[in-house]
């Protein structure tokens, strides 16, 4: 045995030495030719064919291969009894453990008497050293091996069977998810994971949503029509998408509305944080990486980014051009603001880039998607962003009305009527209270609370809201009076300075006349200057 091991070690060392010499001293072109012809030579004796399915296809750096996803599900269902190493995940809604084949594992499959072999592999990232650029993810792929005499069966029947069954498994195991985009890390665009997710389990529905019944039915009908209109959108030549603008004061239920829409349609939700997006190119990558049957949400879009920055820049440039008579410090301030905008250029999402993604050529890279923008101040948004065709349906979520209150009373205390309802109805007409404030007052705060005590607390809450509204109105009135007083003082100061300048000009002309120097008016009228 010792002699055998000695010979084996010597052989391995010789092979390593020869391989090192081959790597170091053979030119790349020669090595490529050797590799090419060696493959051709072995193909005469090797009777098997291999098909590789990459996670990201060659020309698609953005979108994950649908074939790879279907194969992954198919093998996950059929590999648990064969593979020695498995990956496990739990379906939260059903509490079922789903097993799938781990990397570098192999399983067998059989189809119509044909034996096939599947292998899962990955290629590690090339960049191993310290770098300022983000590290790329590993490149995963599946390899299918079969005898060449079964080529027709595999290519025409088996692969279609695998993809179809993978799609069916996806429908059976579908778990709706809530996604958020990962923050960009420096320059470069490695193939990193663009989205992170958790399971979407929000309990909101249109039945529990505090809203007028007519408006609620209108929204439900619109969503149902959209979900069944694939052929119609193709017929009229539009991308199968729809835009919703939800606007209204804080606490009126905009986020709850989004959750109710997602639960009604059974869509995933992508919460897009624009401040974490580096530029327009990354924004396109993010939107292309979203799946169909999804709602893409940008909440508080008026606060996310200055999407009207280019327009503001033009205004400031015009302001700079018209400020010849202003003081030097005003000019330098405008120039400083312009320079600040120039520094930000190329590192922010622009209005043009956002519009191109939701309504331009890139908007067709996906189907059955709903874009939802929310804002507390719709008047701050650029008209180009919210016009029809981009935000197709505008939904105002306002203060709580009596019909909305009845929904909340039913949700919280199962009350359809109560002796305090008429009083609350009158107070709702007189006072602006958001559904969030109403719900907070109806929420039990102790084990002794019941429907009666919570309704009484709500009535007291109206007094608090009225007092806050009164104090706010007084504060606004005071601020308005102070602003008017300030403007008045500035106007008086300007008039005083103007009169002072005119008086100084008159005195200067008078002094020149006394010294025998003609005024500019005399020069203009007489055409000459009198000599002293």
Tell me: the pLDDT tens digits for 13-36?
888 877 787 777 777 777 777 777
Residue 420 exposed, middle or buried by CB count within 10 Å (0-12, 13-18, 19+): middle
Query: What does pLDDT average to over the chain?
Result: 81
Interatomic CA distance for residues 239 and 363, integer angstroms: 7
**pLDDT at residue 163 greater than cutoff 60:** yes
**pLDDT at residue 530 greater than cutoff 50:** no
The whole-number average pLDDT for the span 334-360 is 66
> What pLDDT score was predicted for residue 185?
63
Place of tokens 């008045």: 488
Token digits for 162? 């695998």
Per the CB < 8 A criterion, the answer to whether 256 and 405 are in contact is: no
Domain boundary assignment for the chain: 15-46, 192-305+347-396, 406-493
Per the CB < 8 A criterion, the answer to whether 314 and 390 are in contact is: no
Question: What 8-state DSSP symbol labels residue 244?
Answer: E
**Residues in contact with 81: Cβ distance below 8 Å, sequence separation at least 6, in sequence order:** none
Q: Work out whether the CA dihedral 341, 343, 344, 345 comes out positive or negative.
A: positive
**pLDDT at residue 448 greater than cutoff 50:** yes
Instruction: State if pTM tops 0.75.
Output: no
Tell me: the pLDDT tens digits for 299-325?
988 887 665 544 454 455 555 455 444
> What pLDDT score was predicted for residue 36?
74
Per the CB < 8 A criterion, the answer to whether 442 and 415 are in contact is: no
| β-pairing verdict for 195-199 and 139-147 | unpaired
| β-pairing verdict for 106-111 and 114-123 | antiparallel
Tell me: the pLDDT tens digits for 472-481?
888 988 899 8
Rounded to 5°, angle at Cα 111 from 165 and 52 = 70
Interatomic CA distance for residues 95 and 118, integer angstroms: 28
| Range from 396-410, 416-430, 493-507 carrying the lowest mean pLDDT | 493-507
Length of the chain: 532
Say whether 93 sits in a helix, a strand or coil: coil
Alpha carbon dihedral 350, 351, 356, 357, in 10-degree steps, equals 70
Class of domain 192-305+347-396: alpha beta
Express as a percent the part of the chain with pLDDT over 70.
Answer: 80
Interatomic CA distance for residues 405 and 409, integer angstroms: 6
Interatomic CA distance for residues 243 and 262, integer angstroms: 14
The whole-number average pLDDT for the span 344-360 is 74
Closest CA to 288 of 56, 123, 54: 56
Per the CB < 8 A criterion, the answer to whether 136 and 125 are in contact is: yes
**Residues in contact with 424: Cβ distance below 8 Å, sequence separation at least 6, in sequence order:** 402, 405, 455, 458, 459
Interatomic CA distance for residues 287 and 354, integer angstroms: 10
């Amino acid at each position: 045995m010792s002699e055998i091991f000695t010979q084996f070690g010597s052989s391995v060392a010789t092979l390593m030495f020869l391989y090192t010499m081959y790597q170091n001293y053979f030119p790349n072109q020669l090595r490529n030719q050797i590799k090419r012809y060696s493959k051709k030579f072995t193909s005469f004796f090797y009777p098997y064919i291999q098909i590789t399915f990459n996670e990201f296809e060659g020309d698609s750096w953005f979108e994950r291969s649908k074939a790879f996803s279907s194969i992954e599900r198919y093998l996950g269902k059929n590999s648990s009894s064969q593979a020695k190493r498995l990956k496990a995940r739990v379906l939260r809604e059903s509490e079922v453990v789903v097993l799938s084949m781990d990397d570098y594992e192999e399983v067998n499959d059989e189809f119509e008497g044909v034996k096939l072999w599947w292998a899962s592999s990955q290629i590690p990232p090339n960049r191993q050293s310290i770098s300022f650029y983000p590290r790329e993810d590993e490149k995963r792929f599946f390899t299918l091996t079969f005898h060449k005499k079964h080529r027709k069966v595999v290519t025409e029947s088996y692969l279609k069977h695998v993809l179809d069954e993978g799609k069916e498994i996806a429908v059976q195991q579908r778990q709706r998810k809530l996604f958020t985009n990962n923050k960009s890390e420096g320059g470069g665009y490695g193939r990193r994971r663009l989205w992170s997710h958790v399971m979407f389990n929000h309990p909101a529905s249109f039945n529990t949503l505090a809203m007028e019944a007519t408006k609620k039915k209108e929204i439900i009908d619109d969503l149902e029509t959209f979900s069944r209109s694939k052929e119609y959108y193709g017929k009229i030549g539009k991308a199968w998408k729809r835009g919703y603008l939800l606007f209204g004061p804080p606490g009126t239920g905009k986020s709850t509305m989004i959750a109710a829409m997602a639960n009604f349609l059974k869509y995933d939700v992508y919460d897009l944080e624009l401040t974490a997006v580096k530029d327009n190119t990354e924004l396109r990558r993010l939107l292309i990486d979203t799946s169909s049957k999804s709602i893409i949400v940008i909440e508080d879009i008026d606060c996310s980014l200055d999407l009207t920055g280019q327009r503001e820049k033009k205004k400031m440039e015009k302001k700079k051009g018209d400020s010849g008579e202003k003081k030097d410090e005003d000019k330098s301030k405008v120039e400083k603001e312009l320079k600040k905008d120039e520094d930000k250029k190329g590192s922010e999402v622009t209005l043009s880039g956002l519009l191109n993604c939701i309504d331009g050529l890139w908007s067709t890279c996906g189907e059955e998607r709903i874009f939802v923008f929310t804002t507390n101040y719709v008047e701050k948004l650029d008209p180009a962003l919210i016009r029809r065709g981009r935000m197709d349906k505008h939904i105002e979520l306002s203060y709580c009305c009596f019909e909305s209150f009845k929904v909340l009373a039913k949700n919280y205390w199962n009350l359809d009527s109560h002796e305090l309802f008429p009083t609350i109805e009158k107070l709702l007409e007189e006072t602006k209270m958001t559904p969030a404030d109403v719900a907070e007052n109806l929420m039990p705060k102790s084990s002794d609370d019941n429907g009666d005590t919570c309704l009484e607390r709500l009535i007291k809450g109206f007094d608090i809201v009225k007092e806050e509204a009164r104090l706010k109105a007084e504060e606004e009135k005071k601020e308005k009076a102070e602003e008017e007083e300030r403007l008045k003082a500035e106007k008086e100061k300007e008039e005083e300075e103007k009169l002072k300048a005119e008086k100084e000009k008159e005195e200067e002309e008078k002094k020149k006349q006394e010294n025998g120097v003609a005024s500019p008016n005399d020069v203009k009228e007489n055409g000459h200057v009198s000599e002293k």
